[in-house]
Amino acid sequence: MAYKVSGLAREDFAELFAMGDAELAERNACRVRATGDGFPCRVSLKDAEAGDMLILLHHVSHDVATPYRSSYAIYVNESSRDAAPYVDTTPPVFEGRPIALRGFDADGMLKAASLAAPGQADAKIREVLANPEIAYIHAHNAAHGCYSARIDRYDD
In the predicted model, what is the mean pLDDT of residues 139-156? 92
- Cβ-count burial 1-39 (b if 16+ within 10 Å, e if not): eebbbbbbebeebeebbeeeeeebeeeebebeebeeeeb
5 to 65, 86, 91, 93: CA distances (angstroms): 23, 5, 7, 11
How far is 107 from 31, CA to CA, in rounded Å? Answer: 35
37-94 confidence digits (pLDDT tens)? 889 999 999 999 999 999 999 999 999 999 999 999 999 999 999 988 899 999 999 9
How far is 39 from 140, CA to CA, in rounded Å? Answer: 14
SS3 53: strand
106-134 confidence digits (pLDDT tens)? 999 999 999 999 999 999 999 999 999 99
What percent of the chain has pLDDT above 90?
A: 92
Please report which confidence band the pLDDT of residue 1 belongs to, taking 50, 70 and 90 as the band edges: confident
Q: What are 115's strand-pairing partners?
A: 100
